[in-house]
Structure 1
Amino acid sequence: MKLDLDGIQADSLVDMLKASFTLENWDSIILIADKLHEEINNIYQTNQQKRASGRSVNIFQLKRSVVYYFGYSMCLKGIALQKLGKYVEARACIDRYSELGWINGMDARGLDEVEYYRNIAVANRYVVDLSEGNKDVLEYYVSYIRQNNDEILPGIIHILESSILHNFRVDVILEEFMDKIFEEAEYYKQNRNIRYFIDCVYLLSLYYSKNGKISDSINNTLYVLTTSVSLNDNKGFRKAAALYESLRGQATAEQQEQYSKLMNKILEERELS
């Protein structure tokens, strides 16, 4: 893959990374993250030379602390590598943003970013371990997400992904956290976490299906379909529709009726538009 990223400023590269993450375009993320890291390193080195010679530094119209760009570039690259199954390289990225205290000239915002990336590195090391099927870290990862409320939703996603891929049960963990996730559904729907929320419920459906809880799987799949339609989330809808079709033969009459009503509603709305 070839992307022409020359001349693009750091904050625009950040926006491109966020868009690529939403689209799950992992290869593009790696290229853009490398370019962002190169761009911010050039800015940092230029300012270091100015400091050394007693000249005033240039902020280069950056919206955030320099630390943020160093951390964000390697964090997103590490996630992309983990998603692609390149775990050794993913860990190398985590090492690069786990300790950013070496950066000179930090203000209070920069120090906060150092602490943020130090903390998120702990979680992402657990995620890589889980991706490799290392169940031994589950206890520690669950303890981590208990103490970090913002990590509950992505944390359960990672746990579900690993359990589905590596065939182990996590029922006790789901019992602890899923009620809380559903209780906060409206919050997730109204914030940037909607992609995480829909993915989480979809993975829960897959998990139930794989472990013989077909009725629960179909109910959650119908929930994803309904939520995806209301939020115009085509990606979530397509995945859930495919899962429902694979389970259609085991659906109850009530579940089939709910699905038919939803499909008819979609067709009617398209005819009116």
Structure 2
Amino acid sequence: MIQVTTIGIELEDYLKKYCITINQFAEISGVNSGTISSIIKGIRPTSILQLDRITEGMGLEKGSFYDLYVDECFNHPKLNWRRLRPLIYRCAELDKLDCIERVLGMMMDNISYGDVLFDTAEDLFKQGKREAAGLLYEGVAESEKYQHSERLAICRYRLFNIALGDDQDANLQAAVQFETFVDRLDEVDQLDALKDLANTYSSLRRWDKVEKVAKEMGHKASIQYKHRYDDIKKNKVLKDPTMPLFAYILYSHLLCSAVFDERKEYDKALQYVSLYSEFSWVREKSEEAQQIMCRFKDWAQANTYLYRLMKGDMEVLPEYVSYIGQRKDEILPALFKILQAAITYQFNVDDILTCFEHEIDVYREQQGIIIGNYNIRVIEDRYTYFMSELAEYHLSKGKYDTGIKYLLESMESAVRITSEDCFIRCVSLFEQYRHIASFESQRDYEGLMRRRNEKKHGVIVAGFE
């Protein structure tokens, strides 16, 4: 007969091995000697705090006995959530996700635990323990997958946010999976969900999706705005969204202007600029509201310069360059568009690139260091396309070594964030100039091709060849 080990047996064997008495170990661990004796005899379950002290007293790695603790919790005739909850929190702290998965696998047989698991997931999510929270959200979502519930939609919303990272293919999959759950959310939460979806599709350059989601967000926000300020009879008081309602309407117009910019329909883009630069209808008078309106007014000014430039109006270029020079965060996105215009209309911007050479170098050095939120994903994507645009500009001016260097940087970044569209564009551009590329550049190019193919087929590859 195989003897099943327990925490008590492990502790008793340790004391015998090192000839330590219970009283001596009580002093070492800080756990009462009577409690230790009860644990060894198996007549009293231990708490997580006591278990951590015992583990530390034995000189073992934190969490070494958590698997045994799980077994003991579930071998008990009645599950004790007061014991399991601290275990989940401690596992989240120690990143012992496999232990949380075991707990979930045993608990989800009983759907009555859905409430406490969901509340715990929400708490862990707020604490930034996103992976651990994700496991709990997955468990709750699986148990409620056949229910048309708001809680299921919240789980899917959280899982969408948790899934977003530096892999653009994975981001697209996460967005598509979540989109069908938006309408199940509370009507106010829908606005933030649509904003997050639109931002994600924007970083993925899925402009048809951006337009659809942005317009839906603007429509829903307009209805809620009318309900809040114009309806004489209000059926209920809406909870406050994360930003003032009017901001979602303005942001919808901003996103749509970006869509028509990408489609090269600059007159339509300018029409949307006029919509997010006019605030006479806005009822909010708070300091926050004033700051938001100032921000949109600033964006409207920048994008008016931009869309005029993209239409071929070169006279606006000095004003635009002066404008972005005073706004550090706008420099690289603006240079990207200036390069596009320079390539399209065949004019020289070498002096502008020289003026912002330091900012470009800093931008290049920061790539791949931090990932995991929307802003960084957008920066990574912009960087990848910016370097390809910079490469094309230099190649068009006959600066082949510089152009190919930037082209390879764009390809490397495209592999890192799985930007297939940009990678294909870079390949097409490189092949046009392969005959003048150095042996080293061709070697690096072939190495990137292999890395991209291996990553695409699930092979983990490290380093730059």
Q: TM-score range by the shorter chain?
A: 0.7 to 0.9
Do the aligned partners of residues 271 and 14 (structure 1) sit closer, same or farther apart at CA in structure 2, a change above 3 Å counting?
A: closer
**Post-superposition shift, 1:13?**
1.6
Decide which of 267, 283, 301 is 1:88's aligned counterpart: 267
CA pair 252-110 structure 1, distance change in 2 beyond 3 A: same
* Corresponding residue of 2:215: 34
CA distance 1:13–1:251, change in 2 (3 Å): same
Count of residue correspondences: 269
The answer to whether 1:256 aligns with 2:442 is yes
Alignment of 1:224-263 (within 5 A): 224-263=410-449
Whether 1:195 and 2:374 are equivalent positions in the alignment is no
Given that 2:415 and 2:423 are in contact with CA atoms closer than 8 Å, whether structure 1 keeps it comes out as yes
Contact 2:333–2:382 (CA under 8 A) maintained in structure 1: yes
Runs of 4+, deviation exceeding 4 Å: 3-6, 264-273
**How many angstroms apart in 1 are the aligned matches of 2:325 and 2:451?**
40
State the secondary structure of the residue aligned to 1:102. coil
Worse-superposed segment, 171-180 or 115-124: 171-180
Q: Cα gap change, 1:198/1:272 in structure 2, threshold over 3 Å: closer, same or farther?
A: closer
- Determine what percentage of the aligned residue pairs are the same residue: 25
Query: How many Å apart are 1:7 and its aligned residue?
Result: 3.6
Aligned to 1:136: 315
Q: In structure 1, what is the Cα distance between the partners aligned to 2:272 and 2:285?
A: 22
The root-mean-square deviation of aligned C-alpha atoms, in Å, is 2.7
Q: Which moved more, 1:81-90 or 1:142-151?
A: 81-90
Alpha-carbon distance between aligned partners in 2 of 1:237 and 1:220, rounded to the nearest angstrom? 13
The structural deviation recorded for 1:17 is: 1.2
CA distance 1:20–1:261, change in 2 (3 Å): closer
Moved more, 136-145 or 258-267: 258-267
Between structure 1 and structure 2, the one with the greater Rg is: 2
Report the alpha carbon displacement of residue 267 of structure 1 after superposing the two structures with TM. Answer: 5.9
* 1:157 maps to 2:336: yes
The secondary structure found in structure 1 opposite 2:385 is helix
Is the contact between residue 5 and residue 32 of structure 1 (CA under 8 Å) also seen in structure 2?
no
* Alpha-carbon distance in structure 1 between the residues aligned to 2:452 and 2:381: 21
**Comparing both structures, which one devotes a greater share of its residues to helix?**
1
Question: Which structure 2 segments of 5+ residues have no match?
Answer: 1-178, 185-189, 371-375, 461-465
Contact 2:260/2:268 (8 A) holds in 1: yes
Q: 2: CA distance between counterparts of 1:200 and 1:234? A: 15
| SS in structure 1 at match of 2:205 | coil
Does residue 1:17 correspond to 2:180, yes or no? no
Aligned residue type for 1:16: L
Which residue of 2 is the match for residue 44 of structure 1?
225
Residues 66-119 of structure 1 deviation map (CA, whole Å, 9 limit, x = unaligned): 132022100010111122122222111101111325311343222211010000
Residues 188 and 123 (structure 1 numbering): CA distance in 2 closer, same or farther, change over 3 Å?
A: farther
Q: What's the offset of the Cα at 1:229?
A: 2.7
Structure-2-length-normalised TM-score: 0.53
Look up the SS of the partner of 1:184 in the other structure. helix
In structure 2, which of residues 382, 400, 414 is the aligned counterpart of residue 214 of structure 1?
400
Question: CA offsets per residue over residues 112-156 of structure 1, 9 Å max, x none?
Answer: 110100000001011111111111110000001101111001010
Question: For residues 259 and 107 of structure 1, do their structure 2 counterparts lie closer, same or farther at Cα, with a shift above 3 Å needed?
Answer: same
Higher relative contact order (CA 8 A, sep 6+): 1
